[in-house]
Amino acid sequence: MKPGTTISHYRVVGQLGRGGMGIVYKAEDTKLDRTVALKLLPPHALISEDDRARFYREARAAAALNHPNIAHVYEIDESFVVPAKAGTSPGTAEPPPDPEHRPFIAMEYIDGESLA
């Protein structure tokens, strides 16, 4: 996903990592003016309802945790992915004819090295 791509009110800055249950991006929350980590299911996983259910279970489990060393979950939702267009300001691109609707988890962005 290219920088400037918009998912809901989040604008992608760059990719942070990839795992079995999703791809994590650094993104800007354009409503609250803060940096977040945005996790999306990979496109191929949208075919399986089991993968979608597992993704939401993971989000609910993470949201239930409250510890200073664990990233806080801000939001879980689904939104269209609006690719950035060359020559337009980020977030102003028109949705493509067949937009990709993806579930996502927006969580606290913690700057530093991965523990993985």
51-60: long-range pairs with CB below 8 Å, 24+:
51/21, 52/103, 54/21, 55/21, 55/22, 55/103, 55/105, 56/103, 58/21, 58/105, 59/105
**Domain boundaries along the sequence of the chain:** 6-108
Fold category of 6-108 in CATH: Phosphorylase Kinase; domain 1 (3.30.200)
Better-scored residue on pLDDT, 90 or 12: 12
47-94 confidence digits (pLDDT tens): 678 888 888 898 999 999 999 888 999 999 988 888 887 555 555 555
For the chain, counts of helices (H) and of strands (E): 1, 6
Helix (H, G, I), strand (E, B) or coil at 62: helix
Global pTM reads 0.80
